[in-house]
Amino acid sequence: MMEIEPPQVEDTPHQRAVINVQNAARVQEMQAAISNRTQELHILPELVPNVLGIWNMQRMKYGRVYHHQQSTKD
């Protein structure tokens, strides 16, 4: 994930992302369920975008902004 971020992002403690391993496992399970369902429906995997990955990147992006705002209020 860190490779995706722009190089101008400073590495400061209030901007670091925290990875929740349980959440990551849940996302993997959800992706597997989507993959199984698309196979059942005979949908080519190439036609199904990796929506959970995109959603998770956006959530991290907005979560980082929210976390930064909370840190500056303290």
pLDDT digits (tens, 9 = 90+) for 25-49: 887 888 888 888 888 988 777 777 6
* Comparison of pLDDT for 8 and 20, the residue scoring more: 20
Percentage of the chain exceeding pLDDT 90:
0
Q: Map out the domains of the chain as residue ranges.
A: 20-73
**CA atoms of 17 and 38, how far apart (whole Å):** 31
Mean pLDDT of the chain: 68
Global model pTM greater than 0.85: no
CA dist 61 to 7, 11, 41, 44, 49, Å?
A: 14, 14, 33, 30, 19
Q: What is the pLDDT of residue 53?
A: 66
Residue 1 CB partners (closer than 8 Å, separation 6+):
17, 19, 57, 60
Return the residue matching tokens 């959530």.
59
**CA atoms of 41 and 47, how far apart (whole Å):** 12
* Comparison of pLDDT for 72 and 41, the residue scoring more: 41
